[in-house]
A and B are shown apart, each in its own frame.
Chain A
Amino acid sequence: MKRNSAYIKGAFIAIALCFGLLAGFGQNNAHAFSNQVIQVGATGEDVVELQSRLQYLGFYTGNIDGVFGWRTYWALRNFQYEFGLPIDGLAGGTTKNKLANASKYDKAWVNKQIDNGKKFSYYGGEKKSTKSGAAKGGTAKSGTPKAGTAKGTKGAGQSKAKPAQVKPAKNIPNGYSQNDVNLMANAVYGEARGEPYIGQVAVAAVIINRVNSASFPNTVSGVIFEPGAFTAVADGQIYLTPNQQAKKAVMDALNGWDPTGEAEYYFNPDTATSGWIWSRPQIKKIGKHIFCN
C-alpha cells in the first residue's frame, strides 16, 4: 500500500509538472498572437495581447483597450529599438516572437478585466513597484509559472466615478465622437430607413455638408435639431433605435464618402410641402430623395 501511494503521489507530481510546463509554454509561445501583422489602427484580441505584453515590459503605459493607437505605436517602436529590431512600428513575425519570449501574457485574466470594465494595468514584476496598484495587486513573485505575476489592479471604485463601464475602445473618425455617430445614426434612421444604403449615406453626408457650411449651425447637434430642418426630428422618429446599417452609413459619410455631390438640402418630392424647396438647384435623385444645393 505504502509503495502504491508513493507511486500515485509521484504520478501526480509528474502530471502536475507537465501541466505546469504546458501552462508556462501556453503563456509564452504556443498561444501567442495569431499570425497576422498588426499595424496602426488595428483593433481586436491581438492588439490587447500586444498592449499587455508591451505593458508587461514597461514600454506601454496607456490603457489596454484593444486599439492600436499612437501610444501603442511608440511603445512598440521603443521595444523594437531596445531589442535591436528594425524600427517600423509593425508587429510582424520577428517582433512578435521576440515580444512573446520576453514577456508573459495571462489572456484569461486580461480579458476578464476588460469584460468587467475595470481599470487595470499589467506590469511585469520588476516594474510593478513603480506603477499603480502595488498594494492591491498582491505580491505575486516574478518567476512563478502561474502567470499573472504582479498584475496591479486598481479597483474601479478607486478611480474617478465612471458614467458607465469602460469597454474596449473604438476607432472613430477624426473630429467626431461616438456620441456624434449615434446621434447621426438616429437622424439617418429616422429620415431614411426605407431608402437604399446609398440613400442613407447621402443623408448622413448632407448633415456633414451642413456642419461645414457657412449658412448652417456648426455642430452636428445644431444641424440636426435646427427647428424644421428634418421631419424625423419634428415628428419624433429620430428617437427610434437605429439599426447597424444606419451606423455603417454614418461611418462611411464621416470617412469622406459623399454620394450627393456636396448637397445641403434634400426633399421627398411626394411629400414636400414647401414650394421653396423646389426652387433649389437640383443635383440628383437618390432613392426617393432629390438632393439640391
Chain B
Amino acid sequence: MIRTILIVLLFVAVAGTGYWGYSEHQEKNAVLLQAENNYQRAFHDLNFHMDSLHDKIGETIAMNTRNQLSPALAQVWRLTSEAHNDVGQLPLALLPFNKTEEFLTKMGEFSYRAAVRDLDKNPLSDKEYSTLKELYANSTEIQNELRKTESLAQKNNLRWMDVEMALATNKQPEDNTIIDGFKTVDKSVEGYSDVDFGTEVSNMEKMKDRDLSQLKGKKITKEEAKKIAVDFFQLKKNVKITVESTGKDAKYDAYSLTLYNPDTKGTTYMDLTKKGGYPLYVLYDRNVGKPKISLNEAMLQAEDFLKKHMESQMEMVTSDQYDNIGVFTYARLANGVRIYPETVSVKVALDNGDIMGYEGTDFLLAHVDKRTPIFKISEKEARTNLNPKFQVKETSKALIRNDINEEVYCYEFLGILGNDTFRVFINAENGNEEEVRKLKEAEPSYNDI
C-alpha cells in the first residue's frame, strides 16, 4: 500500500519536473528566437539599404541637373545613416568591421556636403565625380558580398545567435559563413581607403591625426616627470608617486602619474607629455563635502591656478555648478580674440576651493603661437547678417572651428530670441553665418539623482 503511494508520488514528481523543464525550455527558446529575429531584421535591413544605396549612387553619377542631384545626394546621405544604424544592431562588436562603418560615415559626410551646396553656382567637380565613381565601385563590391552572405544564410538557415556565440567564445570563427562574409566586406573596403572625399572629410581625418609633436621642450625622464608633479602641486615629501609610461601605440606619448596623499586620503592622477612635460589632464579624487564657498569664489581659485600654471591669458567661457563641484572652461584670449579651439577646463571643489581637476589636451593640440587675425568686414556689417529677430546683448571677436573643421575668425554675438539664449558666429571675412549655438538651460530633474 505504502509502496504504491510512494510510486504514485514519485511518478507525479517526475512528471511535474518534466513539465516544468519543458515549459522553461520553451520560454528560453521563445526569448532566443526574439533576439534572433531582431538580428535577422537588422541584417536584412542592412542588405536592403546597401542595395538602394548602391542604386542611388549609380543614379547620381548619371544625373546632370541640380534639382535632381541634390535630392539624390540627400537620399545617399540618409541611406548611409540607415545602414550604419543597422550595423550597430548586429553583434559585430568583436569583429573587425569598423572600416566599413567608417566608410559609411565618410560617404554620408561627402554626400551631405554636396547635397546642401548650391550646385548651380558650384557644380560637382570632375574630382568629385571620380570620387562618386569610386564609391559606386566600392558599394558594388559591398553589395555583392553582402548579398552572397545573405543568400547563403537563407539557404543554410544560418542563425545570428550562432555568430554571437562564436564571437563571444572565440571558437573557430573562421568557418562561420556570416563572419567570413563580413570580414570580406571589411577587407574590400580597406582597398578603397585612399578614396579622396574632398577637404571636408579629410579635415575630419586631420583632426583625428593631430599629435603633440609640435610641443616645445625636450623629452623628459620619469624622474623629471615626478619632479614636475611635485612642483605642480607643491607637495610635501610623504606623498607616494608612481609613474608609468604609455604604450608604444599611444597617440599622445605621456607619463601617467598616480599620487597618493596619506594626509588627505586623496589620490591625484595626472598625465604629463613626454615632450616638454606639459600636463594633459589632472584629476584629484577625494570626498567632497557640502558646498561652503560660492561658485564665484571657486572661479577665483581656478583663475589663480591658471595664472600659476599657464603663460597664456585665459578668459572664462562657461561656469557650471554640479552640486558640490564647480566646472569652468577657459578659452585663450589673444589680442582681444577668443580662441575657442584652445580651451582648458578646471574643476574646483566647493567645500574648500581645492583644484579637483584640469584638462588641457585640447589646448595643447590646438595651440598655435601666432595666428594672423582676419577681420575684413566691420562688426556693423556682420550684424546685418543676423536674424532680425535676434536681440544682440554682447559682442566679441572669436576664432572658432566651423563645421568642416576649418579655423575661421568670427564676430561672436551673444543674445536672445524668445526665451532662449544663443551664441551666433558670423564669419569676419565674408559675413557667413558660421555657427548658431543654443545655450542650454538647466533641465528640471524628474527624480533625485
List residues of A whose CB falls within 8 A of some B CB.
36-44, 46, 61-63, 65, 67, 69-71, 73-74, 77, 90, 163-174, 177-178, 181-182, 196-198, 201, 214-218, 222, 226-229, 234, 247, 251-252, 255-259, 261-262, 273-277, 281-286, 292-293
Give the interface centre of B281, B416, B444 by most chain A CB atoms within 10 Å: B444
Q: How far is the CA of A117 from the CA of B309 in the complex (A)?
A: 45
Given the complex of chains A and B, what is the CA–CA distance between A222 and B84 in angstroms? 11
Beyond A41-B321, A228-B168, list 9 extra A-B contacts (CB 8 Å): A36-B297, A62-B441, A167-B444, A167-B447, A226-B89, A228-B167, A262-B251, A275-B170, A284-B256
Check if A276 sits within 8 Å of B96, measured CB to CB.
Answer: yes
Chain A residues with CB under 8 Å of B323's CB are 43
Given A40-B319, A69-B441, A198-B269, answer yes or no on A215-B102 (Cβ-Cβ < 8 Å).
yes
Q: List the 3 closest A-B pairs by CB distance, nearest first.
A: A281-B249, A36-B294, A215-B98
Q: How far is the CB of A270 from chain B (nearest CB, A)?
A: 15
* Complex CA–CA separation, A37 to B415 (angstroms): 24
A61 contacts across to B, CB distance below 8 A? 419
**Shortest distance between the CB of A96 and any CB in chain B (Å):** 12
Measured between alpha carbons, how far is A293 from B105 in the docked complex, in Å?
A: 18
Quick one: given A169-B445, A228-B91, are A42 and B321 in contact (CB under 8 Å)? yes
User: A39-B319, A216-B101 are contacts. A198–B283 as well, Cβ < 8 Å?
Assistant: yes
Asked if A282 and B249 sit within 8 Å, CB to CB, the answer is yes
Question: B167 touching A274 by the CB < 8 A rule?
Answer: yes
Residues on A with beta carbons closer than 8 Å to the beta carbon of B440: 172, 174
A178 and B291 contact, CB distance less than 8 A: no
Q: Could you give 6 example pairs across A and B, Cβ below 8 Å?
A: A36-B293, A90-B296, A166-B445, A228-B92, A257-B345, A259-B281
Chain A nearest Cβ from B340, distance in angstroms: 13
Are B252 and A261 in contact, with the CB atoms below 8 A?
yes
Contact A257 B283 (CB under 8 A): yes
For B442, give its contact among A44, A169, A214, A262 (CB under 8 Å). Answer: A169
* Segment among B46-54, B114-122, B133-141, B354-362 that sits at the interface with chain A: B354-362
Q: How far is the CB of A2 from chain B (nearest CB, A)?
A: 57
B338 beta carbon closer than 8 Å to chain A: no
Residue of B nearest to A218 (CB): B84
Q: How far is the CA of A218 from the CA of B247 in the complex (A)?
A: 28
- Structural contact, A214 and B102, CB atoms closer than 8 A: yes
How near does chain A come to B248, taking the closest CB pair, in angstroms?
A: 8
Q: Roughly how many angstroms separate A250 CA and B283 CA in the complex, as a whole number?
A: 13
| B169 interfacial contact with A, CB 8 Å | yes
B24 at the interface (CB under 8 A from A): no
Asked if B320 is at the interface of the complex by the 8 Å CB criterion, the answer is yes
- Cβ–Cβ < 8 Å partners of A41 in chain B: 295, 318-321, 326
Question: Chain A: which residue is nearest B328 at the CB level?
Answer: A41
